[in-house]
Amino acid sequence: MATIRPFMGIRPQAEYAEAVAALPYDVMNSEEAREMVQGKPYSFLHIDKAEVDLPQGTDIYSDAVYAKAKENLEDMIAQGIFMQDLLPNLYIYRLTMNGNSQTGLVACTSIDEYLNGIIKKHELTRADKEADRIRHVDTLNANTGPIFLAYKNNETARVIIEGWKTSNQPIYDFVSEDGIGHTVWVVDSDTEIGILVDSFRQVENLYIADGHHRNASAVKVGLKRRELKELYTGEEEYNYYLSVLFPADELKIMDYNRVVKDLNGHTSEEFLALLTTKFEVAPYLGEGQLKPQKPHQFGLYLEGKWFSLTTKEEILSHDPVLGLDVSILQKEVLEPLLAIGDPRTDKRIDFVGGIRGLAELEKRVDRGEMKLAFSLYPTSMDELIRVADAERIMPPKSTWFEPKLRSGLFLHDLGE
């Protein structure tokens, strides 16, 4: 069973919500963040990436950055930009993109259920990235970025959430600069809160869709605080962390494409010939870029032309990880033909999220920055869940979720 818990959210006053809300800290670098906060004194990036308020060249992992984040949060609370609800609530967060909506329930989830596998993961995390968010959460005494979780079936929750949206006014309702609609309701009725909490006790698992590093870091902050206590009950706020839970069938994963710097010594003709041993290779005769329309089909952009690659039956796998298109590309092309053994560390490969479009692949190849590009069919939520249920790990950069949750709309005070 899955445990969710209401909390006394720290959140922007309604008139500041749009000005505060910011993309997650990990989708931009420091220089991009500096540009994004120009003329935006209330942007949550002043808290999530506080180096933007320190001299250029400041080590982003220095004590000064975490201290500045804490100072900025305290200042915004003192100015009345943020307020804290007086009683524990749940919250509903709807995101709308290109006419499609997904509605999540904002709640706290249990660090113990991450540790015992009720909350399932599908990615590895890096120690340096974990260490950053551990210090950030610990210094601010708050979860500042929500974890993006999915669940398979909860009809009771769906009915309650839809009913609440229909009969209550939202506290926030705005469209961000990228065209994404953000609408938030406060669920402050003990009756509805109790029904929602009880309904998730019938949900077997929650799945991390996005935010593996934030999740692992929140758990480690909780464990660190337990170690400092002679006695703890397990009910303290640090035993729970900020999450937004979405029905899996409302979520859509976008493609996550690859660009590579060179052909590992092969000519273009040799490379295409090598591909024919594993794929049906054909020139693309359509207009524009080749966007794969089904699993196991890839687009290849090379020498200013697109080619269709269709995986041959004999190399397909029913294994939940090896059968993924990202795995097929890595196992059959990137590693054996292009000598890219570890895409996490190899500097010859880069990744382009589907939100940037396939024209971005052409641009990076045409200007000589990269030699070739691969377009992929998106990983599905069903595939993600199969991998997580098998307690396996996806290859890096397997999923790109849109729209992105905004940071700053909800903070969870750890209570000490």
E-strand spans in 62-99? 82-84, 90-97
Look at the chain and count its residues.
416
- Summarised one tens digit per residue, pLDDT across range 26-79 is 889 999 999 999 999 999 999 999 999 999 999 999 999 999 999 999 999 999
- What pLDDT, on the 0 to 100 scale, is given for residue 27? 87
**Longest CA span, the chain:** 69
Residues 298 and 329: beta-carbon distance below 8 Å? yes
Render pLDDT for 192-219 as a digit per residue (tens, 0 to 9). 999 999 999 999 999 999 999 999 999 9
Contacts of 54 (CB under 8 A, 6+ apart): 64, 65, 68
Number of Cα atoms under 13 Å in the Cβ half of residue 335: 12
Residues 6+ apart with CB under 8 A from 3: 109, 110, 113, 200, 201
The answer on pLDDT for 230 being more than 90 is no
What CATH code is assigned to 256-377? Answer: 3.30.1760
Q: If we measure between CA atoms, which residue out of 173, 164, 165, 28 comes closest to residue 96?
A: 173
CA distance 370 to 24: 27
Would the pLDDT of 344 be above 90?
A: no
CA-angle at 175, arms to 173 and 179, nearest 5°: 155
- The answer to whether 1 and 202 have CB atoms below 8 angstroms apart is yes
Strand, coil or helix: 193: helix
Ordered by start, the domain boundaries in the chain are 4-252+402-413, 256-377
Residues 384, 122: Cα–Cα separation, whole Å:
7
**pLDDT band, very low/low/confident/very high, at 416 (cuts 50, 70, 90):** confident
What is the per-residue pLDDT across 132-169, written as a single tens digit (0 to 9) for each? 999 999 999 999 999 999 999 899 999 999 999 999 99
Helix, coil or strand: residue 259: strand
More confident residue, 365 or 128: 365
Name the residue with tokens 């008139």. 15
Of 282, 290, 385, 271, which is closest to residue 332 (Cα–Cα)?
A: 271
* Beta pairing, strands 172-175 & 82-84: unpaired
Cα separation of 376 and 354, whole Å?
9
Contact 376, 255 (CB under 8 A): yes
Give the pairing type, strands 240-247 and 100-110.
Answer: antiparallel
Q: State the pTM of this model.
A: 0.93
